Structure 1
């Protein structure tokens, strides 16, 4: 059984309810490609291409892409002003091309004041042992370079013994396997490997 379209807009030409839009601007609604073609002499004057459409415009009425369901996973937040790391929930946007097996994109920018993030992947834990579930660290490169206040949560789990103090926020996600195609919930069991990394960081 096909789901009933949730979008119900009046056709620009005849006002009949429709769930299709102009694939070029994605802001005008039509009940059929024919009605878009009939309205094109008028609509073309206001049809501004959507930001993510390609130059090879396909001027037809098509259903909008289904709203993608965000994936929620537990992550570890090392906030600079907090004494201990804590578990948070991070939303991940699914890959645009599921058949390619690409990993979802974590939406972590809200945890970083300047919005700039970089990431590294930890594949080794204590004593250089390979991690079955690699850890994905997100951090602010500008916080590290400008020597922002030392991250107290990281200072705490390393007992202050790190060769170089880590500055700024860190968010850690855990991959669901070595192929890194998705995430699973991170938790306190991942802290020893993270502590080893921060101790070795120079």
Structure 2
């Protein structure tokens, strides 16, 4: 059974007494995980694991170790999207957070986080590449909708109904979120806005 060892060292960041250290090099001391995370940009330059030093791991209790490197915090990408809320009379803009692709998927498009708009996780997507008069869109549009809302004849989306003047062949139901690609390669998003409404209206009118 491993017994507790009383260790009194100064935290590398704040100087307060601590008994915890970096689990990788076991030579830098921190009073909490947050201080290791804050100091990591500097400490990582000098942090060498015990195995690479050819030194056996410390006999100090495992509970005293702070995991290194600290968990990476994903920086989300935020873009402006067009939102057609089912109960609203007109479209609106909203901010959408997107998760960047992993290193193994470099070149892929960020993943929009749409759970707040589609709580049942039933969203499907369509990429619109053509606008008025079948002209190719320089910045294609990425439309997300709920197929189950359409299938179960949910209340008509008034915002979509109004943008088409009520002339659409088939009523559109449920929420609709529209993001705008930053180019034809579909590898990123840019802000959507009023200039994208004509292409959307054309699509809604042609939808069957």
Which structure 1 segments of 5+ residues have no match?
21-30, 44-60
Structure-1-length-normalised TM-score = 0.72
Q: Post-superposition shift, 1:32?
A: 4.7
The residue matched to 1:109 in structure 2 has which SS?
coil
Q: CA offsets per residue over residues 101-140 of structure 1, 9 Å max, x none?
A: 1111111121124232111100000111100000000111
Corresponding residue of 1:157: 163
Task: Give yes or no for contact 1:109–1:116 (8 Å, CA) kept in 2.
Answer: no
Corresponding residue of 2:184: 178
**Structure 1 CA distance, aligned partners of 2:144 and 2:122?**
10
Is residue 76 of structure 1 aligned with residue 87 of structure 2? Answer: no
**Structure 2 CA distance, aligned partners of 1:33 and 1:165?**
65
Q: Post-superposition shift, 1:69?
A: 1.3
Match of 1:10 among 8, 17, 20: 20
Is residue 115 of structure 1 aligned with residue 121 of structure 2? Answer: yes
Corresponding residue of 2:41: none
**Structure 2 CA distance, aligned partners of 1:114 and 1:90?**
18
Match of 2:107 among 78, 101, 117: 101
The residue matched to 1:164 in structure 2 has which SS?
coil
**Structure 1 CA distance, aligned partners of 2:73 and 2:131?**
38
Which structure 2 segments of 5+ residues have no match?
1-12, 14-18, 38-47
Task: Give yes or no for contact 1:84–1:152 (8 Å, CA) kept in 2.
Answer: yes
Bigger Rg, which one: 2
The residue matched to 2:169 in structure 1 has which SS?
coil
Moved over 3 A (4+): 9-16, 31-39
Q: Which has the larger displacement, 108-117 or 171-180?
A: 108-117
RMSD: 3.2
